[in-house]
Structure formats: C-alpha cells, structure tokens
C-alpha cells in the first residue's frame, strides 16, 4: 500500500475511534441495559444501516463478486425471500418483543416455556452465531491480508482486536453508530470500484447467460432458484431476523416497535441495489480480465476482487476500498460480539448469579466479549481455506434456525396460554431433534441448504404441536 492509501486508512480509523469513544463515554448511562439495547434511543434509520452492516458483512464484499465472476446472477433472487421474511418479522415478532419489554429475545421463551427451553435455545444461537460470524471474519481478512502483505491469520487477529475494543468499550450503541459510518464507507468504496471497472470495460458487454437472474427449476438440490427464494429463503430470513439475537438486538435499540419494524423491512429493500452492485462488480471483473489478461491473476475467485483493488486502483482510492472492506468486516464482527456476550450474560449467567450489582453484570458482559472473540478467531482460522465461502457462510445457520423458528413461532401464537408441563418438555426436546434431522439430510445430500430451515421448522413444530393436540384435556377450550 502507498503512503496516500495508509493516510486514508489512518483518517478512517481515527474517525471510527472517535465515534466509538464518544458514544461509549458521552452518555449519562452506564448500565447493562444501556450496554445491550442502548436504552432504546437509536433512530430507525441508524438501526436500518446497522442491520445492513450486520447482514451484508465482508462475506458479501468477497463472496458475491466471486459468485457473479463464475457466470450468473441467480443469487439476486434471495432478495425476494428477504423482503417476505423481514415483513413477517416486522409485523409479528418485533411488536411482541416490545410488548413484553425484553432485553434479550430469549426472555420471551422463558415466559412461555420455562428456563430449560430458553437455555437450550440460547446455546443453539451461540453455536450458530459463532460459526457464522467466524466464517465471515475469515472471509473478510483475505483482503486485509492482500492489502498489508501479512499472513491471513495475522490479518484475522488484527481485525479481531480492533473490533473487540470498540465492542467492549461502547456496547451496542457504539456498534450501531460505528456501523453507520462503516456501511457508508462500504457503499462509497464499492461504487468507486464499479466506476473504475466501467471505465476499464467500456465498449464490452457480458453475454446474456452471464447475467441470468431467474432460475425457474424445481430441482431441490439447487441453492438459488426462484422457488427456493420465495419459500426457503423467506423462512430463513424470518428465522434469522426473528430468533437470532445478533440481528434482533439492534432492532430492540429503536424507540418503539413501529420504528424497529420500519428499519428491518427497509433493510430488505435496501439489499436489492446493494447486492446488484456487488454482482455487477463480479461480472465486470470477468470482462476486465478477459480484455486485460494478467498472468498473476489469482486462481481462486474469492481473491480476485482484492487483487483488483491492490493492483488496478489509484493511490487513495485503493485505501478507501480497503477501508470499505474493513468497515463491513468490523460491522458484522462487532455486532456478533455484542449479541453473543449480551445473550450469554442476560440469559445464562445472570440467572445463576442473581441480585448482583449492575457493575458486576457490566464487567461480566465485557469479559464474555473477550471469550467469544477468541472463539470467533478459532473458527475464522479453521475456515480460511474454504473456496465456496459465500455458500458456507449462508449455509451454516440453516442447520439451526429451523428449530428456533418453530419454538418462537408457536410461542407467539400461544403467548397468552398457560403451557402444561409436558408442553415445555416437548419444546425442549424438539429443537435438538430437528437439528439432528437437518444434519442427517445434509450428510445424505440431495437437498439444497435454503430448504433446511423449512425442514427444521416443520420437524420441531410437529413435535411440539402434535402432543398438545393428542393429549389435550377435554375440559380445555380449543
């Protein structure tokens, strides 16, 4: 990197540090609630950008151009499922969470099914989020590795330490407001790269098959078809944004459920142009290197965008693009840490250490943040050699989210009922059973991952609902 690139990075990090410090120390509150939900004073547009920062992640920056570089745009179909799923979350899930005034969404399960079901749901979330966010950390560190010339694992550690400081000091408020800056820089950087590519490919056009958007196949083994998007991805988005504390936490920082719902639904609409932008970059990269052959071009598609940034962009703009990558990488990493630590302390630690001083839980949250940062580092290092990084990052969560969706969905429907003892046990046992079934189907093959959430939700839902119908007390009202 050249001197001007390093200057741009230095200015960016100074601004990021200033925002994080100001948010973390500028307010009057210093409580666990303030650390975890920002005392619900964040405006909806900032929540929307924060949701985008968590959802897009460095996986989009690295994986989506690599997908389009290989020759199609069918990944764009997932935005249809994103709109449907997040509408359901904004319409039904978010109002329930605000109505019950929860700090952690798993408190909602506690009131419906009791502590053991809540604890199992929390453990499932912790496992899923550590795996998903660890993969994203490893994916984004690839470009940092190319930019600084350091080993990939060293790049992972560097990014992880920076994100850890912001998250541990300022809590969710610092995460949300730094994500506003990070997403803004990401969009400016990606648009700048697109303009450079358009200039370098002037007069060239991609063949029609390279920009195929719709896939009407009914083949259940294909990941990105229209039917998988409309059905499978809709349920997947409902599960992620309705049961994953990483995503729901920033929704709970809005002033009320109406503003929170507006933010989550708006984030789905905003993804359409953003994903199109990165798919366009991937297609233009293919055209660019067809017109300008480079013997040093990396063999791995996931490295090509980073290679282009380092070798083709002028000084200053290269630094801006590296800042953009670091922006989305830090955004998803910080939000994961905040949600993992918050859920662990609120749902698992505090019930076993009740009636302690607020300062005790505040420090417990910060210590948990350090612990989960270590786990994310391990997953990032282990996933560093995976070629299909976009598919891996999207797929891991689908093993777990179907079980969570069934339990949360039934809890919403039955929130006013008083569950019987066996009802609580069926919910407890249904979640691991559904996850094991999904993993078995995964090992057997033949079913694409967008359908895993539907399979898990159907399995867990039947296991919870059927005994309730079979063993209903005749004196109960239906």
pLDDT bucket at 475, cuts 50 / 70 / 90: low
> Given this model, what pLDDT does residue 288 score?
94
CATH of domain 3-385: 1.20.1730.10
Q: In residues, how long is the chain? A: 478
**pLDDT single digits (tens) 456-472:** 999 999 998 887 766 66
Is a pLDDT exceeding 50 seen at residue 29? no
> Given this model, what pLDDT does residue 103 score?
73
More confident call, 265 vs 186: 265
Is a pLDDT exceeding 80 seen at residue 9? yes
> Given this model, what pLDDT does residue 205 score?
82
Distance in Å from the first CA to the final CA of the chain: 69
- What is the chain's mean pLDDT, rounded? 84
Domain boundaries, the chain: 3-385
**pLDDT single digits (tens) 380-391:** 988 866 667 677
> Given this model, what pLDDT does residue 126 score?
95
More confident call, 231 vs 303: 231
Torsion region of 101: left, alpha or beta (phi above 0 gives left; psi -120 to 50 gives alpha): left
Phi, psi dihedrals of residue 42, rounded to the nearest 5°: -90, 130
* Single pTM value for the model: 0.84
**Alpha carbon of 451 to those of 59, 192, 310, 434, 446: distances in Å?**
21, 36, 38, 13, 11
Closest CA to 240 of 81, 76, 43, 113: 81
425 burial type by CB count under 10 A (0-12 exposed, 13-18 middle, 19+ buried)? middle
Is a pLDDT exceeding 50 seen at residue 28? no
Q: Which two tokens stand for residue 20?
A: 């994080």
> Given this model, what pLDDT does residue 151 score?
86
| pLDDT, mean of residues 298-327 | 86
């Amino acid at each position: 990197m050249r001197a001007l690139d390093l200057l741009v990075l230095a200015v960016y990090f100074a601004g990021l540090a200033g925002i994080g410090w100001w948010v973390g120390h500028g307010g009057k509150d210093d409580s666990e609630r303030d650390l975890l939900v920002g005392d619900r004073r964040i405006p909806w547009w900032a929540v929307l950008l924060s949701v985008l920062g968590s959802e897009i992640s460095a996986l989009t920056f690295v994986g989506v151009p690599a997908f389009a570089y290989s020759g199609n745009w069918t990944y764009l179909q997932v935005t249809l499922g994103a709109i449907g799923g997040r509408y359901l979350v904004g319409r039904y899930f978010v109002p329930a969470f605000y109505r019950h005034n929860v700090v952690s969404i798993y408190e909602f399960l506690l009131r419906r099914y009791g502590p053991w079901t809540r604890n199992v749901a929390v453990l499932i979330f912790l496992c899923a989020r550590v795996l998903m966010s660890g993969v994203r950390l490893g994916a984004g560190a690839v470009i940092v590795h190319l930019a600084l010339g350091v080993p990939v694992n060293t790049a992972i550690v560097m990014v992880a330490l920076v994100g850890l400081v912001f998250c541990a000091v300022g809590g969710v408020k610092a995460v949300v407001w730094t994500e506003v800056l990070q997403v803004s820089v990401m969009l400016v950087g990606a648009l700048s790269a697109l303009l450079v590519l358009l200039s370098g490919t002037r007069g060239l056009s991609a063949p029609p098959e390279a920009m195929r958007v719709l896939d009407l196949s009914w083949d259940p083994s294909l990941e990105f078809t229209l039917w998988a998007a409309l059905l499978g991805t809709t349920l997947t988005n409902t599960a992620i944004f309705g049961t994953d504390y990483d995503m729901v936490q920033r929704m709970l920082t809005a002033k009320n459920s109406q503003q929170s719902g507006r933010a989550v639904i708006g984030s789905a609409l905003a993804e359409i142009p953003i994903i199109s932008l990165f798919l366009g970059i991937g297609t233009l990269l293919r055209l660019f290197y067809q017109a300008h052959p480079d013997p040093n071009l990396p063999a791995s598609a996931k490295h090509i965008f980073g290679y282009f940034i380092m070798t083709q962009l002028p000084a200053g703009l290269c630094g801006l693009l590296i800042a953009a990558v670091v922006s989305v990488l830090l955004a998803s990493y910080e939000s994961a840490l905040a949600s993992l630590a918050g859920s662990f302390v609120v749902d698992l630690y505090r019930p076993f250490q009740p009636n302690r001083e607020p300062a005790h839980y505040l420090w417990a949250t910060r210590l948990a943040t350090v612990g989960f940062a270590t786990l994310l580092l391990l997953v990032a290092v282990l996933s560093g050699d995976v070629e299909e990084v976009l598919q891996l990052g999207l797929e891991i969560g689908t093993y777990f989210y179907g079980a969570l969706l069934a339990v949360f969905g039934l809890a919403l429907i039955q929130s006013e009922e008083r569950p019987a003892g066996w009802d609580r046990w069926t919910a407890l046992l249904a979640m691991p059973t559904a996850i094991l079934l999904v993993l078995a189907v995964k090992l057997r093959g033949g079913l694409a991952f967008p359908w895993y959430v539907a399979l898990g939700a159907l399995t867990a839902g039947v296991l919870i609902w059927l005994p309730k119908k079979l063993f209903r007390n005749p004196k109960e009202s239906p």
